[in-house]
Amino acid sequence: MTIRYVNRILIAFVFIFALGACDEPSPGIPTSAVKVSYADIMQTPGDEWFKVTYDLYEPSQAVCGQITSKLQTSNYKFCIFSKLASACTNTQVKAAQAYKTLKKAGVPDSLIEIYSMLKISLDQPYQSDFRVSSLTSLLIIRQNKALASVIDTLERNDSTKKIPIEIFINSFMSK
């Protein structure tokens, strides 16, 4: 056997071992979505972008008023799924904008759940009704049933990307 042939076999074994290792979760890395609060986000290094985006975003007061009215007519809950440790994409910024919109509309924290996820394939508490297809996603639940996923719908095509998130939240609550 030549050294070149032995090197190829060793490389193949290392490659196969590396592929198998990817399936095992690394110690300390969550294997499911982690529920966090706004206070948790504010205290987490790397999540400073959330507060900056939250402070800068100004949702329409008129649309927030419409959302407030709809809250009185039905039992709603809102779930934000995001890769909070990164503000690399426009959809990550949507997490802070969605939270600000919900707070400005008077949604109490008890009706807002925020989940930090590293990837969309992680387990999350609503997976029997809703599959996270992108991070960030905002799930609207009405009467304990998944009604709509707002942010991934908003980001699906270029014509809707520029529409303010509060308009999408309001329109989905009308369905």
Confidence check: pLDDT of 77 > 50: yes
In whole angstroms, give the CA distance from residue 120 to residue 134: 6
pLDDT (average), residues 3-28: 45
- Grade residue 15 by pLDDT with cuts at 50, 70 and 90: very low
Confidence check: pLDDT of 16 > 50: no
**Predicted TM-score (pTM) of this structure:** 0.77
Q: Domain 34-173, what fold?
A: Glutaredoxin (3.40.30)
- Is the pLDDT higher at 162 or at 24? 162
Confidence check: pLDDT of 83 > 90: no
Question: Domain boundaries in the chain?
Answer: 34-173
Confidence check: pLDDT of 22 > 60: no
- pLDDT of 24: 42
